[in-house]
Structure 1
Amino acid sequence: MIAFKYVKKIALLLMLSIALTACTTTGQGKRLSELSKPVLIERPERFFWEIRGNKGSVYVLGTIHVADKKFYPLEKNVLRAFDKADRLVSEIGGMAEMEALVGEMQTVIMKNMNTDPKKSLLNVLSEDELVFLYEMIGDDTMHRFALFNPWVLNTVLVQLLTFKAGMDPSDGIDMYLMQRAENKKIEALDTAEQQIAALSYGTFEDQLALLKDSIQALRDIDKSIAEVHTIRDLYLSNNRKKLSALLVELLLEVPSSFSEKKAQAYIDALLTDRNRIWAQKFDEYLREGGDTFVFAGTAHFLGKSSVFEIMRQKNMLE
């Protein structure tokens, strides 16, 4: 997603990757040309994988949606695979689709205006939280956002947090590759509706709990910036083991008001449900043949509910 997703915890999650068990191709098993199913190869470049099939490959680059200049240049083998690919795919498509998503977001935000005074953020946030927000974004801005459901202000606070950490969507890997593609078509893994539904997930009470978490993250700004920088540094050093552990930790950090069932539903909406759809699309790319290059948030390619593991469960991968 654009603008580095959701709340602090999910924003951090989407900077992460988990090391997956690579399928090696040297000295054991069948040759690739003899395999009945594609194999997953963990490439040495940062969070780069290849699903190699009999008719072509799907190259997968796990990205971070906001970044800084330390992320560049991208590695030569990654760019070579990108430039030579027969098909390019991202979460939202190319620049035209991103612009359309922004327009759709504006429409949805207006539909999320809350006319119930009992649900005005001015009435449901604590006095301390409001004082902090007045100081952080200004009285007029706060009063405007108080008219909408909590997720709208939440997106603003998440962007503010990442900017304070020196990270910018315009420096994100996704944006860089969209611009590098120039006039080449980039297909989309998600629809605009899927992206916005994930962004605006939950009831009013759920969104309010997530908003309060984001406010606390900004109040603990030094700690939050340190966490963002830790994730950045682990990504840049391709330290998959430590990122794996950090992802598990962050997955467990949901508002205290969330039941175990609700927490799982939240993670499913953000990641797992979309991963199931993506797994099917990856399988289709392999069946159609040629080389496909996918670039999307690293959290989708991680752990027990990753796109890769779902493909294995569905017998699409060795």
Structure 2
Amino acid sequence: MRSFIRRANALILMLTLIMTLFVGAACNREEVALEKEDAKVTSSNVDVKKKEKRADVEEKEEASTEKKYGDVKGFLWELNKDNTKVYMYGSIHVGDKNLYPLHQVVEDAFESSDVVVGEIDMTNTAKLTDQAFQLVYTNGETVLDHLSEEGKKKIDEVCEELDFNYTLLKTQKIWSFGSFLSGYQMKKAGYDANYGIDMYFMNKAKGNKRIEELEGAEFQFDMLNNFTDEEQEKYFIMSLTNLEETKKDLDELFEIYKSGDESAMLKALGEEDRSTNYYKKMILDRNINMTSKIEGYLNTGDTYFVVAGLAHLIGEDGIVKMLQDKGYTVIRK
């Protein structure tokens, strides 16, 4: 599981809406193709399945509407200074509908906030789409020109298992290609960025609360593009596993998340090589910058609800520890 969690730092905890849109489109095309194939066999069976699926969805939506609070508390911290309060909630950027609604203490913290902050404002689709050029090679090259033979073999193995034709994604850079492929794999395993915790709170905040960003898509894409081909392949391609293992790892990850067990989560994360350029850029530098930004919120007089990848909040180099080292009292809720 540890190799998967390390990948989660780079992928699950970095998936953005623009990736969700592309992955969702690819998955939808796959689903449409399957539906057409079923129709060739027997249209009546398809109609029955559609009716059953529609009834199941309606039943779940009705049950969800009636349920105001759930059992999942996850990882929530509170930071105070004078009359200003900042909540920090650790996110996993994929999920399923059964996660929601969250525990009352989490939902109440969100409701009491004036400003909701994510790593990226995923409701601003226009801004995200404007950054799409950063995901692709613009000089006629493809991802295959930048991968080792081992990397190409890994892609073929994963795509064969998923029955996924990656021809249209060949112009994607290694990190974005790996993110799309991983997102598709996770969707096949039953987990979707549309049900990610970031997306959940962003959708609730849209039109109701002020939304701000800790980093923004441009910053994140610039950072990822500055990794070498070797670093990108190591962390975004070679760490891909098979579908069965991905589902097993995700199931275990969410069990730990639902329990709110920080020690178990840290154990699952395992030891990272803190001397690498990858760790410095992906984790340490970002945590320092996000800590500074969160500290600035304490001077505004508003209540903030910050949603950031859980891996950024916990651990010796985590945001919670950095704030404590600065003398702040950070309370786990």
TM range (shorter): 0.7 to 0.9
**Aligned residue number for residue 85 of structure 2:** 57
SS of the equivalent of 1:202 reads coil
**Aligned residue number for residue 189 of structure 1:** 214
CA distance in 1, matches of 2:324, 2:229: 37
- Is the CA contact (8 Å cut-off) linking 1:68 and 1:166 kept in structure 2? yes
1:236 and 2:258 correspond:
yes
CA distance in 1, matches of 2:202, 2:259: 24
**Aligned residue number for residue 11 of structure 1:** 11
- RMSD value, Cα: 3.1
Instruction: Give CA deviations for 1:170-206 in whole Å, capped at 9, x if unaligned.
Output: 1111111111113122111002222213443511222
Given the alignment, which residue of 216, 234, 238 partners 1:213?
238
**Aligned residue number for residue 202 of structure 1:** 227
Q: Offset at 1:130?
A: 5.6
Identity of aligned residues (%): 26
- Is the CA contact (8 Å cut-off) linking 1:85 and 1:292 kept in structure 2? yes
Q: What code does the residue aligned with 2:229 have?
A: F
TM-score (norm 2): 0.70
Give matches, 1:160-309, under 5 Å: 160-183=184-207, 184-215=209-240, 217-218=241-242, 221-249=243-271, 251=272, 261=275, 264-309=276-321
CA distance in 1, matches of 2:181, 2:288: 30
**Aligned residue number for residue 107 of structure 1:** 133
Q: 1:165 to 1:307 in 2, by over 3 A?
A: same
Q: 1:6 to 1:160 in 2, by over 3 A?
A: farther
TM-score (norm 1): 0.73
SS of the equivalent of 1:159 reads helix
Equivalences, count: 269
- Is the CA contact (8 Å cut-off) linking 1:56 and 1:291 kept in structure 2? yes
Unmatched 5+ residue regions in structure 1? 16-43, 253-259
CA distance in 1, matches of 2:144, 2:188: 29
Instruction: Give CA deviations for 1:31-56 in whole Å, capped at 9, x if unaligned.
Output: xxxxxxxxxxxxx9420110122222
SS of the equivalent of 1:132 reads helix
SS of the equivalent of 2:222 reads helix
- Is the CA contact (8 Å cut-off) linking 1:6 and 1:158 kept in structure 2? no
Q: Offset at 1:62?
A: 0.9
- Is the CA contact (8 Å cut-off) linking 1:49 and 1:59 kept in structure 2? yes
1:151 and 2:179 correspond:
no
CA distance in 2, matches of 1:114, 1:8: 30
Q: 1:231 to 1:129 in 2, by over 3 A?
A: closer
Q: Offset at 1:131?
A: 4.2
SS of the equivalent of 2:191 reads coil
Unmatched 5+ residue regions in structure 2? 16-71
- Is the CA contact (8 Å cut-off) linking 1:88 and 1:294 kept in structure 2? yes
Q: What code does the residue aligned with 1:268 have?
A: K
Q: Offset at 1:167?
A: 0.5
**Aligned residue number for residue 33 of structure 1:** none
